[in-house]
């Protein structure tokens, strides 16, 4: 039997959702941070292409997630909900660049994730 990607995400995050349902948002948030901190940072880094700005945006995103966590209703996978909040935040931070090195020191090569790569943007 095949499980869809959404089903896998729901299973993977069932412990977080269970904490929320049991009225333990702090424990749910701790699990969420441990699981998604690096992914949020890499998303911020790939879009902002600035390690310092990415760190700030990731922290701001986690703050917004913490504030909104009690409103999570499960209509979407938790990961989708997290990335939507992060992308909404980043929409206001994006600045155009002709070239960007996504894996600058501290951006994608830090404690949070894998090495970045060089990419030329289309203009």
Structure tokens, 87: 């992308």
Range name among 14-23, 24-33, 79-88, 96-105 with the lowest pLDDT average: 96-105
Residue 120 contacts residue 99 (beta carbons within 8 Å): yes
Q: How far apart are CA 80 and CA 87, in angstroms?
A: 10
pTM of the model: 0.69
Give CA–CA dist 74/2, Å, rounded: 21
pLDDT tens digits for range 13-65: 999 999 999 999 999 999 999 999 999 999 999 999 899 999 999 999 999 99
Task: Say if residue 120's pLDDT is above 60.
Answer: no
CB–CB of 70/25 below 8 Å? yes
Average confidence score pLDDT of the chain: 78
Would you state the pLDDT for residue 12? 85
Distance CA 31, CA 107 (A): 23
**C-alpha–C-alpha distance, residues 86 and 39, integer Å:** 10
DSSP classification of residue 98: S
pLDDT (0 to 100) of residue 85: 95
Query: How far apart are the C-alpha atoms of 100 and 121, rounded to whole Å?
Result: 7
pLDDT computed for residue 11 by the predictor: 79
C-alpha distances out from residue 11 to 18, 38, 105, Å: 11, 20, 34
């Amino acid at each position: 039997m095949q499980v869809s990607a959404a089903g896998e995400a729901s299973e993977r995050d069932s412990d977080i959702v269970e904490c929320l349902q049991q009225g333990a948002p702090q424990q749910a948030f701790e699990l969420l941070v441990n699981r998604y901190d690096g992914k949020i940072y890499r998303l911020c880094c790939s879009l902002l292409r600035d390690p310092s700005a990415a760190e700030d945006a990731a922290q701001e995103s986690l703050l917004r997630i913490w504030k909104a966590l009690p409103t999570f209703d499960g209509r979407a996978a938790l990961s989708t909900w997290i990335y939507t909040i992060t992308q909404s935040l980043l929409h206001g931070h994006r600045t155009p660049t002709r070239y960007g090195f996504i894996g600058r020191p501290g951006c994608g090569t830090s404690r949070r994730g894998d090495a970045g790569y060089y990419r030329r943007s289309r203009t």
